[in-house]
Amino acid sequence: MLKTYSNQLDEINEKIVVIANNILEANNVILNGLVECDKDLLDSAKESLKNMSSKTTEIDNNIIKMLALYSPEARDLRLVVSLFKITNELLRASSNTRSFIAGLSNYCTELDTVTVKDFAVPMQKSTVDCLITVVAMLKTTCSDETQELFNKLLIGESKTDDLYELLQESVFKQAPNIEDFGKFTKILSALRKSEKIADRSLDVGTLLLFARVGGEMGVRE
């Protein structure tokens, strides 16, 4: 593998790691602002998500140039194609995070402290753990470690799904106390964004598993 190609690939991966860390940072801020429904703190989480679309577009353009110049094959091609798809998943995770911030800012006061403490906070913690695992997967080149981290990611994403179902049941119990059904559905929609971020994390992990270990793209073992 040419040194120039290798260096460019490392630079692209580093930029993707930065984006993943930015999303992680934003979700950590959300976690801290969730308990007290601190709108200022929640809004500050947006700072980590600035110019996300332009950043991912720049990476995609660099990847396209690499494909044209070097025509990578086999494992190198798997990695480059995976990184190209990963930028889209991270952009979606960023969009989900922005929607989550907006929804929480508008509706978190409608949730009782028990729902927040027992369901919403643990769910967001699990989502943050998924993002931490994704960052670790992006940083490793070891196939065995990639598989171990992916298995951990599977557990974390499943936990987030389970917690959302429990949270949904809890919010349903509050429905008679919510002024209108429209507001009720918007609350659930906002909280679902945390679960969606975990889903995007698993999608990134699946692509990285394909890149490092092989198999079929999109197939989770």
pLDDT of 218 higher than 60:
no
What is the biggest distance separating any 2 CA atoms in the chain, rounded to whole angstroms?
65
What is the C-alpha to C-alpha distance for residues 182 and 40, in angstroms, rounded to an integer? 25
Residues 70, 5: contact at Cβ < 8 Å?
A: yes
Determine the pLDDT at residue 172. Answer: 77
> Quick one: pLDDT at residue 1?
47
pLDDT for 176 equals 66
Which of 134, 123, 147 lies closest to 196 in space, CA to CA? 123
Q: Tell me the average pLDDT across 177-196.
A: 79
Q: What would the pLDDT profile of 33-86 be if each residue is shown by its tens digit?
A: 998 889 899 999 999 999 999 999 999 999 999 988 888 888 888 999 999 999
Whose tokens are 């929609």? That residue is 189
- 119 has pLDDT over 60: yes
**The predicted structure's pLDDT at residue 3:** 60
Q: pLDDT digit string (tens) for 131-153?
A: 999 999 999 999 999 999 999 99
Domains of the chain by residue range: 3-212
Share of the chain above pLDDT 70, in %: 91
CATH number of 3-212: 1.20.58.220
Please name the residues in contact with 95: beta carbons below 8 A apart, sequence gap of 6 or more.
Answer: none
